[in-house]
Amino acid sequence: MKKNLPLVLIIISTFIFGQNPSDKIFTFDHLLHYQKVTEKGQEDKMIFVSSQDSEYQMVVTMVDGRYFGDLVSHSDGKSYFFNVDKNERTPSNFDFTYFGESKLENIFSKKYTWKDKEYHRFIKIDDKSLELKFYKDKKMKREICTHYLEISKSDFPLFSAYRSAFLSFFERDDLNLSNQENFMVHRSEIKYGKGNYRILLKEFKTVIISIKIPST
């Protein structure tokens, strides 16, 4: 633990000096690296989470050959957007440059109407697996998709990482996780209509970083 102390102090001091008191700071202490595998290829997603607050996550993915970051904060109802560059000299291996934000309600209203509401159900199979099913109707007869999840117990909520990376905005907003146990998804098989794909956890590690949202 002592070996990591200077690194932690450097990271923290970088954000303290010159910081505007009204700037918003998000701190992350763990990284999950997932890989989505389909018939067309694979896609990697890096999700930064906080063990102290599961209400926000940063998802880094590649879009049109460039890395893009989406920091979703459910507590303040906003999504913050970042250009992301690879930098192996930093603890996260990335540099984050903030360029904009949007209220989550605005994102939802552009993509969905009340007719798009989906209903979900968790079905626990055993201590290491469960199903997450989404339906189109209240009676849960018209199934949309199913996530077959392989899980393990965790010290703090880690399903939020999977939720932010692999569920749609509307599914995320509708999915109440307040009563869910602490667990981490290691692997999943998703069946959606006639298609299917799988998600694999490639890495889980401690990474202490802070990201600043400049005041406007």
Q: Cα(31)–Cα(208) distance, rounded to whole angstroms?
A: 9
Whether the pLDDT of residue 167 is over 90: the answer is no
Nearest-Å Rg of the Cα atoms of the chain is 18
C-beta of residue 165 within 8 angstroms of C-beta of residue 34: yes
Whether the pLDDT of residue 66 is over 90: the answer is no
**β-sheet with 94-103: strand ranges across:** 94-103, 78-86, 66-73, 56-63, 41-49, 24-38, 195-213, 183-192, 143-153, 129-135, 119-126
Strand 41-49 with 24-38, pairing: antiparallel
pLDDT in tens, 4-33: 444 443 344 344 445 566 788 999 999 999
Enumerate the domain spans of the chain: 2-36+44-110+204-213, 112-202
Quickly state the pLDDT bin for 216 (edges 50, 70, 90). Answer: low
> Higher-confidence residue: 103 or 27?
27
The confidence score (pLDDT) of residue 124 equals 77
The residue assigned the tokens 């939020």 is 160
- Look up the pTM and report it: 0.80
The confidence score (pLDDT) of residue 11 equals 42
The confidence score (pLDDT) of residue 169 equals 55
Q: What is residue 15's DSSP assignment? A: H
The confidence score (pLDDT) of residue 122 equals 73
Three-state DSSP state, 71 = strand
